[in-house]
Amino acid sequence: MPDSQPFEPVIIGFTCNWCSYRAADLAGTARVKYPPNVRLIRLMCSGRLDPTFVLKALAGGADAVLITGCHPGECHYLEQNYKAMRRYLLLQRTLAQLGVEPQRVKLVWASAAEGVRLAAEITKLVEEIRALGPLNWPTGTGAAEAMFASPEQMVVQEVSA
Amino acid sequence: MSEKIGVYVCHCGSNIAGTVDVVDVARWAAEKLGRRGVIIARDYKFMCSSLGQELIEKDIKELGLTRVVVAACSPHLHERTFRTACARAGLNPYLCELVSIREQVSWVHTDKAAATAKAKAVISGGVERIIHHAPLEPLRVPIHPDTLVVGGGVAGIQAALELADAGQHVYLVEREPSIGGHMAQFDKTFPTLDCSACILTPKMVDVGNHPHITLLTWSEVEHVDGYVGNFTVSVRKRARSVNTSLCTGCGICEQKCPKKVVDTVFEAGLGQRKAVYTPFAQAVPKYPVIDRENCTFFLKGTCKACEKFCPTGAIDFKQEDEMLTLQVGNIILTTGFDLFDAKRIPQYGYGRLPNVFTSLEFERLSNAAGPTNGQIVLRDKVTVPKSVGIIHCVGSRDRNYNNYCSAICCMQSLKFAHLVEERIGATVYNCYIDMRTPAKGYEEFYQRLLEEGTFFVRGKVAEVTDVARLPGEEGKLIMQVEDTLIGKQRRIPVDMVILSAGLEPRYDAKEVAHRFGLSCSADGWFIERHPKLDPVATMTEGIYIAGCAQGPKDIPASVVQGSAAAARVLGRILQKEIALEPVRATIDENKCSGCRICNDLCPFNAILFHEDRAVSEVNPALCQGCGTCIAACPANAISGTGFSDEQIMAQLEGLLLLNLERVPA
C-alpha cells in the first residue's frame, strides 16, 4: 500500500442469525452509515464460533475480527453466547501470547433492535484498528520479518553453558 | 472445479445500483471468479421479479448450473424466493445462496468505489461458501393441532375464540383470576362510547363455555420446550384454594371474608377487595380465589370464615399448585401492557397530590361497577370536581421516558373529557402536544368534542402544583403550561387532574420473551417478523404475537391482531405438517472419541451418549442447529448442515479474496 493513502483495515465480522445479523439488516433499512471495512459472516449463533475461524481470518489478511452475539441472558439458544464469551476471553489471551494485540478481536453484544448501536460499534472498531495499524505476522520488533526476508543472514548464536 | 456457478447481481432499482457499480461487479465475478467455477454472472434490475427469477431458472436448465449465488437484499427477505426459483428449475433449493449487498453494503456505505469493492468481496465469499453446500431436504414434522394462547385480554380472547370456533382446541392461560384484561376495567370505549363490559362480557362467557377451550386462569407458563408443531409447555396452575367442581360462584365466601385488601390490579388501587375474591362481577370463570398472601388463615392459622359459610363445602385450604404439561403446535402471546408509572414524573404530583389521577384510575372512577359506582369525585370520594385538567402524553413521546407514541392516549383523553362533561358538567382542559386521531370515526369524535366546548390547550404541561400564586388558585391544582398556539405561559387552576399515562411493556416482558424464544425491541415490545408484512408472526416459528404485547394499540387493532394470529395458526394446522430448515448438527461416529465435551454444551439435551459404543449422537428432532457443539469438538467429529467448518472457512477465504490466487482444484 502506498504511504500516501491512509491505512484501511479489513475486518471480518461474525454475526448471529437471530440478533446481530438482524441488527445489521436494521442498520441497512434505517440507512445508518458505517465504514465499509467490515465484511460479515452469518452464523446461527455466536456459540458456533470456532476460535480457529478468528485465527484463520487474522492469518488470511484480516486486520481485526468482530464477534457479535445476543446480549447475555438473551441468547436465542438459551445460553450459548456465554460459551462464545468464554472462548473470546481465552482467545484474547492466546493472541497476546502470539504477539498479536488482543484488541484486534472484539466482542460486541447487539440485539436485533440495535442497528444503530452495531453501526456505532463497527465505526468505533474501524477507528481503533486504523490507529493500531495493519496486522503483521509475526508482530513485535520487526526482526522476524527481516529474518524471513533474508534467511541467509540468519545467524545461530552460541550460548555458553 | 466441477461446479457450475451462476452469480446474479441485483440492482434493486437504484437501491443497490445507486451505490454499487453492479455492472462492474458482475463483470468482475465472471472474470475473476471464473476459475472458481463461475460460468455466468449477470446483473438485473429486480432479481426478485418473476423475470429475474426466470433468468435463474433458464440458466439452470440451459447452462446446467449446479450452484446459484444471488447478490441482493438480506436473506431474511428473499432467500425463500430464490430457493423456490431454483427448486422450480430442478436444482436443490439449498444450493442457492443469497448474499446481502443492500442492507450490508449499498444502504450503509456512501463511497461508491469502496461499496463496489466490498460487494465483490461479499460475492466472492458467497461463491466460495456455496461450493461446499450440499443438497438438503427440509425436515418435515407434523403440527400438533392444539394451540396455546397466553394472556386473556381482548386480543387473547379473540384469538382463542377464532380458533375454537373453527373446531381447534385452545388452551387459554391467564395469570389473573379472571380473563378480560384491561378492557374489562374500562367504562366506555372510544369513539362510539359503547359500554366496554357490554361488548366484552359476552365474549368472555363464550370463552368460558366453549367446548374447544380449556381455560386456565390463576396460572402461568413456566417452561416451553420443543419447536413449531411440537411444543411441550409446563403451566403452573396456582392453588385457587377453591374446589371448582363444588363451587357455584354464589359469592357468600366473599361477603363473609373479614379481610379487606386494596385492589391494585383491577381497581387500580382505588377500591378494595376481600382476601377471597373474584375481581369483578362478570368474571370468567366465576370461581373465586383465595389470595394466600393476605388471607388471615394463611397468615395466622385461624379464621376460616369462608369455609364455615360456603354452602357447598368448596373451600379447600390444602389445595396445592398443580403442574400441567400441555402439548401444542403453536403459541400466541397476547400478554398486553403495563400502564406507565406516573410517579416517575414527580412534577406531575401523582402520589403526592391526592387529586391527580391516572387514566386507569379514572376508568374505574367513571365505571358504574367501580369503587364509586360511577360517581366522578375527588379522592375524598365526596366532592364533585368543577373543573378537570387532562394531560396527554404522560410518559410517552418524551425522551426522558419513552420516545414512542402510546397510540391510545389522545382518544382516551377525548373520551374522558366527554364523560366528565356529560356526567358532571365540569369544565375540561385537555393539554396535548399533538392531537392524533387517525382511525375510523376518531377524527369525528374529536370534532364532536370541539363542539361540546372542551378547552384544548396545545402544550406540554410543565408542572402540576398546589402552591397558589394568583387569586383564584387557592385549594386548586394548577397546571403550568405553555400554550404554544398563543405563545404564552398559562396557569390553569383545576380541581382534578387526569394523567393520560402511556403504555409500557409488561414488567416481565423480557423474561417472557426469553422463555418463548422471542426478542424484544429497544423499547421492550415483542418484535414481529416484519413490521408491515408479517406483524403477528415472530422470528421463532410457531410463536405468534397479538395485541399490546407487540406495541401500543387500541381495542380494534388488538382484536384485528388476535384474529390475524388465529388465522396464521389455522393455516399451519390445516397444512398438518411443516418443513423445517435442515440446519442440524451431526456426529461422525468414526471420528468421535467419546470425550463427551459436547454433551454438556447442548442447551436442548439433544446429544445422547451411547455407553456401549462410547460415542455421542445428535437427536435431530431436538437439535436447534446453534452449532456450539461443532465449535467445541476437539476431534472435529461434529458437522453442521448449512454451517460446516468447510463452508465458513471457505467463505472467509472468499471474503479476504484469497481465492483469487488459488489455482482451480
Output the pLDDT for position A72: 86
In the predicted model, is pLDDT for residue B302 greater than 70? Answer: yes
Grid cell in block for residue B528: 414481529
Judge whether A4 lies within some domain.
no
Question: Which residue from B minimizes the CA distance to A19?
Answer: B519
Output the pLDDT for position A146: 52
* Partner residue opposite B102 with nearest CB, options A28, A35, A114: A28
Say how many domains are in chain A. Answer: 1
Residues of chain B positioned with their CB less than 8 A from the CB of A74: 510, 514, 519
| DSSP for chain A, written as a single string | --TTSPP---EEEEEETTTHHHHHHHHHHTT----TTEEEEEES-GGG--HHHHHHHHHTT-SEEEEEEPPTT-BTTBSHHHHHHHHHHHHHHHHHHHT--GGGEEEEE--TT-HHHHHHHHHHHHHHHHHH----SS-SSSHHHHHHH-GGG--PPP---
Domain residue limits at A33: 11-153
How far is Cα B506 from Cα B303, in angstroms, rounded to an integer? 36
Tell me whether B113 touches chain A (CB under 8 Å): no
**Quick one: average pLDDT of B453-467?**
96
Judge whether A158 lies within some domain.
no
Output the pLDDT for position A158: 53
Tell me whether B230 touches chain A (CB under 8 Å): no
- Beta partners for residue B224, in sequence order: B233
Question: Which residue from A minimizes the CA distance to B585?
Answer: A48
**Taking the domain B5-138, which CATH number applies?**
3.40.50.920
Name the CATH superfamily housing domain B339-502. Answer: FAD/NAD(P)-binding domain (3.50.50.60)
A137 confidence band (pLDDT: 50, 70, 90): low
CB atoms within 10 A of CB A141: 9
- Compute the mean pLDDT over every residue in chain B, rounded to the nearest whole number: 94
How far is Cα B633 from Cα B638, in angstroms, rounded to an integer? 6
B664 confidence band (pLDDT: 50, 70, 90): low
Record: fold of B147-238+323-336+506-577: FAD/NAD(P)-binding domain (3.50.50)
Judge whether A96 lies within some domain.
yes
How far is Cα B462 from Cα B331, in angstroms, rounded to an integer? 44
B502 confidence band (pLDDT: 50, 70, 90): very high
Residues of chain B positioned with their CB less than 8 A from the CB of A77: 603-604, 624, 626, 628
Domain ranges of chain B: 5-138, 147-238+323-336+506-577, 252-309, 339-502, 585-640
Report the top-level CATH class of B585-640. alpha beta
Judge whether A99 lies within some domain.
yes
At B406-440, the pLDDT tens digits run: 999 999 999 999 999 999 999 999 999 999 999 99
Output the pLDDT for position A139: 45
Within 8 A by CB and 6+ apart from B337, the residues are: B182, B503, B504, B505, B506, B548, B549, B552
At B3-52, the pLDDT tens digits run: 999 999 999 999 999 999 999 999 999 999 999 999 999 999 999 999 99
Say yes or no for a CB contact (<8 Å) between A19 and B519.
yes
CB atoms within 10 A of CB B434: 10
How far is Cα B100 from Cα B443, in angstroms, rounded to an integer? 43
Indicate the pTM of the whole model.
0.82
Judge whether A161 lies within some domain.
no
- Beta partners for residue B173, in sequence order: B150, B216
Residue A64: which CATH number? Answer: 3.40.50
Output the pLDDT for position B521: 85
* Partner residue opposite B603 with nearest CB, options A50, A74, A79: A79
* Partner residue opposite A41 with nearest CB, options B601, B625, B651: B651
* Partner residue opposite B656 with nearest CB, options A18, A62, A113: A62
Chain B 61-80, residues with CB within 8 Å of chain A CB atoms: 74-76
B665 confidence band (pLDDT: 50, 70, 90): very low
Question: Which residue from A minimizes the CA distance to B623?
Answer: A77
Output the pLDDT for position A138: 57
Judge whether A1 lies within some domain.
no
* Same fold for the pair B147-238+323-336+506-577 and B339-502: yes
Say yes or no for a CB contact (<8 Å) between A111 and B111.
no
At B44-55, the pLDDT tens digits run: 999 999 999 999
A149 confidence band (pLDDT: 50, 70, 90): low
**Quick one: average pLDDT of A19-45?**
95
Tell me whether B368 touches chain A (CB under 8 Å): no
Q: Distances in Å between the alpha carbon of B221 and those of B195, B326, B328, B472?
A: 32, 10, 13, 55
Best to test chain A binding among B76, B103, B649 (most A CBs inside 10 Å): B103
Question: Which residue from A minimizes the CA distance to B510?
Answer: A74
**Quick one: average pLDDT of B278-288?**
95
**Taking CB atoms and an 8 Å cut-off, how many pairs form between chains A and B?**
141
CB atoms within 10 A of CB B258: 10
